[in-house]
Amino acid sequence: MVSDSVPISRSEARAIRKSVLGPAWWATSQIVLLVWTVLVAVPIVWTFLASIKTEVELDDAWSLPAVPRFDNYARAWEQAHIGQYMLNSILVVAFGVAGTMLLGSMAAYVLSRYRFRGSRLLYLLFVSGLAFPVYLALTPLFFVVQNMGTVPVIGQFIGLNSHGGLVLVYIAYSLPFTVFFLAAFFRTLPTAVAEAALVDGASHTRVFFQIMLPMAKPGIVSITIFNILGQWNQYQIPLVLLAGAKEKWVLTQGIADISTAAGYDADWAALFAALSMAILPMLIVYTIFQRQIQAGLTAGALK
């Protein structure tokens, strides 16, 4: 357990890091971070800037628009159906992340806190999924989801060209990292509280949902954000599984369609507007929850 301590300010933390690293390493780290910030920020700023320009103004990459053209967003939203694709993405990611976190947290808790025959093997099977790129399984996934579509009654909801089938695949490919991350986090939680609850008559299910899960909130929030980002930006999987139902496409497919529908005559201003609309929700989510993400990544080391 960590002893009680007085929280320090950011300036004090910066001074401590500087004294530990030394002036040379401190300066080098700051330069590297500055370069990294520029590499990340410049494309985003350029995309937002291009989204309010005309086609002619796009020829000068860093010029400011004479008049901001917000009608590019309206054109992308309505004519390119980006609004429908965004709604589809929100629906798929919401159910995909919810299913991933429910199943992943339960599996991680059992594998990290209970010992039974084969538990280690099950954990290694989950972790081995991290070493297997999902893109290598696109063809088998296509036929698996196609076969699921033949299941009576529910087949139409989980087969090809359905959001249900895409959600199931999202859950499957997100589980390995979720289990790996949360299993390590659950191991750091104290067992005394759970043992006391069991002695008082609480069931294992109640201990998990009412005691251990709230205690693991920093880790849960962190991995939830990572899963939202990963599933929101996914392109290859929906491209394969939703190819035959354009009205069910997700946002990444809709953006790609804008750039390829008209070849060299594509509506580039609307394309950048669509990209901006795809970036903005994730930027807002990360900005709001960045402290929780950082806390979740470091909490295990401070237990």
Burial class (CB in 10 A: 0-12, 13-18, 19+), 149: middle
Write out pLDDT tens, residues 225-246: 999 999 999 999 999 999 888 9
Q: Which CATH number among 3.40.50.1000, 1.10.3720.10, 2.40.50.100, 1.10.10.10 corresponds to the domain 80-302? A: 1.10.3720.10
- Taking the model in full, what pTM does it have? 0.84
**192: CB partners within 8 A, 6+ apart:** none
Q: What is the mean pLDDT of the chain?
A: 86
C-alpha 275/C-alpha 85 separation (Å) is: 12
Closest listed residue to residue 212, CA positions, set 294, 293, 124, 112: 112
Judged by DSSP in three states, 144 sits in: helix
Write out pLDDT tens, residues 6-22: 555 666 666 666 666 66
**Quick one: pLDDT band at residue 218, thresholds 50, 70, 90?**
confident
Lowest mean pLDDT among 26-35, 212-221, 228-237, 284-293: 284-293
Q: Tokens 């860093």 label which residue?
A: 62
Instruction: Identify the DSSP state of 134.
Output: G
C-alpha 77/C-alpha 75 separation (Å) is: 5
Q: Are 188 and 261 in contact (CB under 8 A)?
A: no
pLDDT at site 264? 61
111's enclosing H/E stretch is helix 82-113
Write out pLDDT tens, residues 261-290: 656 666 788 889 999 999 998 888 888 887
Domain ranges of the chain: 10-71, 80-302
Q: Are 180 and 130 in contact (CB under 8 A)?
A: yes
pLDDT at site 7? 55
Counting every residue written for the chain, the total comes to 303
